[in-house]
Structure 1
Amino acid sequence: MQDDRTGRITVRELSKRFGAVQAVDGLTFSVEPGAVTGFLGPNGSGKTTTLRMILGLVTPTAGEARINGMRFRELPRPARVVGAVLEAQGFHPARTARAHLLTCAAAIEVPDDAVEHALGTVGLDDAGDRSVGEYSLGMRQRLALAVALLGDPQVLVLDEPGNGLDPEGIAWLRAFLRAFAAQGRSVLISSHLLAEVEQTADHLVVISRGRCVYQGSLAQLQGSRSARVLVRCADPVRLADALAGTGVLEIDTLSDGWLGVAGTDPVHVGDVALGAGVAIYGMVHERVELEQLFFQLTAEPWR
């Protein structure tokens, strides 16, 4: 199999069993170049095992994962193709960040200039001569990312890269990943920070108990679940009847006295209420958030 140089990750019928535990079960998905793909699932759903199989660190029981059409072990210079961060660990506490990166650069045969570029990219250029033992968790996350970037890779595979980052660091990471993907490269990111994934990812792969329960764009997922307009008014019954007269039939009376109206927008609800002579005391366009969708997907029974 030849390197197709696309930066695409393909996972086909990937499975992994540890004794009696089926950690990953027939997983199939792809990660396309030019996009950030969020890889989501509850604890124990098989995310880290899947990432490790993609990177050749765990042997699948069945199926396969390919990058650029090749298994990871077949890539001639893997660090030039894939940069990965699975844990921000493995740093000698007495060694400086710059010294650590120089060692890594020598191992993958890239020039020392790559070290300075990586330090600057992750915002550690002023802290490169400090020992890693003095680094915060967030700084170690940035250093781990710098290691991943040394080979100027086509693909980034990151497991919980936002751990330990402060709000400024998270905003920086979001901008960096989107800019990286905008260059036509591929990003696969696993994270528990669902609100951040919602702002970062173009596509989602959601797994539960080792199986894929959703693969597609975030916009498609949000569009598949109806948003609601929440209304507090003087006469819920009259408003509901008036809305039904316009063809809006998905109306629920909520426990706090508000109406939940699906299949329309706040402007229509307001116009109908005005025409029916019903005073509106409050109205909220309920947004379908990724967190809500995530819990629905991972709680739904398998078919």
Structure 2
Amino acid sequence: MTAARGDDGSGRITVQRLTKRFGPVSAVEDLSFAVERGTVTGFLGPNGSGKTTTLRMLLGLVAPTSGEARINALRFGELPHPARVVGAVLEAQGFHPARTPRAHLAACAAAIRVPDAAVGHVLRAVGLDTAANRPVGGFSLGMKQRLSLATALLGDPQVLVLDEPANGLDPEGIAWLRAFVRGFAGQGRTVLVSSHALAEVEQTVDHVVVINRGHCVHQGPLARLRGRPRVLVATPDPARLAEALAKAGMPEVEARRDGRLAVTGADPARVGDVALAAGVALHGLEAERVDLEQLYFGLTAGAR
């Protein structure tokens, strides 16, 4: 793929008050968010939350009831060369079982008017060059996911929209996908990736948009979802340690039911140094691990 385009605002996705109703059923309701260029945004929510419907509206496949979704400030149907702006993987299906990846991609390249050389390039990019002349009918779901991604990349797009891209991938494939997505965004491009499993994407994304039943329940940097770091401390003299920590600029200390202190906004090394200087014994010191899955399920379970 070529180097990223200039700093002209290209690659930005905006969704404003987007709503889609199918008869009496509201699949998406008054949804707004933005995806900035050069970032990977996780579009998260349980199955049936409205993620795929939103992506289909973004890509012009479903007409919204109200509101709008834009890429580069344009609706999908207004893009002069859509395949060169956005590549999408919504499902790893739709391939003729007797056709090879090379033949499939050559047909797609002709349809979007890109050079034949792009076929070999994207096959190498997704790791299918050695299987380029095998019939797709014998492919695993993971290999079909790679072929779908190769198809999305043919136009050398600024934006990638991926719907559950890890489906069918083994752990090695998931690690490969993570590195690929990060590298794509590292070129100044944009990735919007949907998933119902936070654990699959938490090592990949910069920002998250969490929806449930068509409503946005959280959006922002992943770090904000994690919350501020805390250190858990076991000591025989909690009052004295709390006083020393406050004097050292760490006043947010909470006594837990298990007898330990929870120190917010600190790291273990700093807390240990303060305890040593104050002559307070420590029986345990650990950074608290935020259970993102638990936070995620709390957000989605509590939504309307």
TM-score (norm: length of structure 1): 0.87
Correspondence 1:21 to 2:25: yes
Pairwise mapping of residues 12-51 of structure 1 onto structure 2 (< 5 A)?
12-51=16-55
Correspondence 1:111 to 2:115: yes
Alpha-carbon distance in structure 2 between the residues aligned to 1:5 and 1:226: 31
Alpha-carbon distance in structure 2 between the residues aligned to 1:252 and 1:296: 24
Q: What do the CA deviations read for 1:159-180 (whole angstroms, capped 9, x no partner)?
A: 0111122222222212211221
Could you tell me whether the CA contact under 8 Å between 2:33 and 2:219 is conserved in 1? yes
Could you tell me whether the CA contact under 8 Å between 2:15 and 2:69 is conserved in 1? yes
Pairwise mapping of residues 128-207 of structure 1 onto structure 2 (< 5 A)?
128-207=132-211
Could you tell me whether the CA contact under 8 Å between 2:13 and 2:35 is conserved in 1? yes
Structure 1: runs of 5+ lacking an equivalent: none
Residues 250 and 82 (structure 1), Cα distance of their counterparts in 2 relative to 1, 3 Å cut? same
Pairwise mapping of residues 1-303 of structure 1 onto structure 2 (< 5 A)?
6-222=10-226, 225-233=227-235, 235=236, 238-240=237-239, 242-244=241-243, 246-247=245-246, 248=251, 250-255=253-258, 258-271=260-273, 273-274=275-276, 279-300=281-302
Q: What do the CA deviations read for 1:63-104 (whole angstroms, capped 9, x no partner)?
A: 011112221122222112111000001112222111111222
Query: More displaced, 283-292 or 171-180?
Result: 283-292
Alpha-carbon distance in structure 2 between the residues aligned to 1:213 and 1:193: 16
Q: What displacement does 1:245 show?
A: 6.0
Structure 2: runs of 5+ lacking an equivalent: 1-7
Query: More displaced, 269-278 or 151-160?
Result: 269-278
Could you tell me whether the CA contact under 8 Å between 2:97 and 2:138 is conserved in 1? yes
Q: How many residues align?
A: 293
Q: What displacement does 1:300 show?
A: 4.5
TM-score (norm: length of structure 2): 0.86
Residues 269 and 15 (structure 1), Cα distance of their counterparts in 2 relative to 1, 3 Å cut? same
**What amino acid does structure 2 have at the position aligned with 1:21?**
V
Q: What displacement does 1:209 show?
A: 2.3
Q: What do the CA deviations read for 1:104-144 (whole angstroms, capped 9, x no partner)?
A: 22222222211111101101000111111211111111000
